[in-house]
Structure 1
């Protein structure tokens, strides 16, 4: 069975993608900071689809945790897909750049960029050994567009986009996709803009876009999940 590692997998998009992959027969290593929520997600997904699901609680900014994630993947037989989904906003709720705490910006960069690269570095030997080694970096339209108050988070996602683009050039045998999932109804968005009650798609609605990428395996690049699937 193919093996995937997904960070930020206890809820939201990470959990939705994990469930969809398990339904297709993938074995999974799931990472997140909150052990109780992560363990429940892993138990539920494993029981529902009969695949092996290994929860590894910890913070992706911790090098030891990253090693544990990849060791767990090796224990399942290898690694075919790495999904960097864990994200930090930098401020909750979001604020304008003139009020953005520099320590918040550093935290966003550490989680969204530095830890994502560290995880890739740890994963490369396993990914290179796979016949279909793939990296998905979950990005945001805030990394490509200028939205008020989204400057720190957007800057971190823009940096993530560039790292993924360079990785694709340096590792031509892999597929490296940066995926913008679009607006979703998630805890992350609620923390970013708590007063925004406009309806948004559930994470499950955009997961088919990710699955289409895995099925069709287009060239490495940046993709928008809503453009790959009708989420109306």
Structure 2
């Protein structure tokens, strides 16, 4: 049985992807900061829930211990927008930016470091959830956007350093989530996270080359392809690893 560790698994995309994998027979470990919500989801889908904050080193150690028997997939999904309402850069408190990086960049790297030995041995995969805010210049998205840009570059370098581990950084597009609502966007008009989760499940099963992927029509069983192709699915962008 394959094992997946998904951070931020109590709601949104994390919950939807955890459900997808659990229904497919995976052993799934999820975390989240709300113990009651996490327990409810874990019980519903048959996963192991470990409550805590990914920025807490002792919590990360508990996650690594929970998958010490072997890990096939790490999904770094937990993230924060930063301060809300989201300020312009000229008024963004540097301490808040540091907190955003702690959740969106440093915690994912620390978890990666903790589970890499297992992933190497099982030729596993790492899926880092990113956003178009990493590559676009949206006003007031400075904290979140710069942190996701850093996560993408971290992923790109990691893919070059770890040839035996698949490293994907995927932009699922807008989804009807509390995070999008907190950003002041019309979340109700966005598709449900389950659509992106189904496309990511397809990506995981297909194990494409390491690289950047984006949702281009996240339908159940959708295909993925390199940038410039027209078929719906998850599209590999120009940040793909050079397979020289």
Aligned to 1:55, which of 49, 53, 58?
49
* 197 and 78 in structure 1: CA distance in 2 versus 1, 3 angstrom threshold: closer
Superposed CA offset, 1:143-183 (max 9, x none):
01111111110000000000001100000000000000101
Offset of 1:198 from its aligned partner? 5.8
Q: Where in structure 2 are there 5+ consecutive unaligned residues? A: 223-231, 234-244
Aligned equivalents of 1:30, 1:191: Cα separation in 2: 23
Higher helix share: 1
Q: Is the 8 A contact 1:206 1:226 kept in 2?
A: no
Distance in 1 (CA, whole Å) between partners of 2:131 and 2:125 is: 19
Counting only pairs closer than 5 Å after superposition, residues 65-104 of structure 1 correspond to structure 2 as 65-74=59-68, 77-104=69-96
CA contact (8 A) 1:161 1:178 kept: yes
**1:197 CA displacement:** 5.6
1:211 deviates by: 1.2
Matched with 1:191 is: 182
Q: 2-side partners of 1:197 and 1:83: how far apart?
A: 23
Correspondence for 2:110 among 107, 110, 118: 118
Structure 1 unaligned segments of length 5 or more: list them. 47-52
Give the match for residue 214 of structure 2: 224
Measured after TM superposition, the shift of residue 225 of structure 1 is 2.6
Contact 1:209 1:226 in 2 (8 A): no
1:157–1:2 distance in 2 versus 1, CA, 3 Å: same
* Residue 64 (str. 1) matches residue 78 (str. 2): no
The number of residues matched between the two structures is 221
Provide the TM-score with structure 1 as the length reference. 0.91
Could you say if the C-alpha distance between residues 103 and 219 of structure 1 is closer, same or farther in structure 2, counting changes exceeding 3 Å?
same
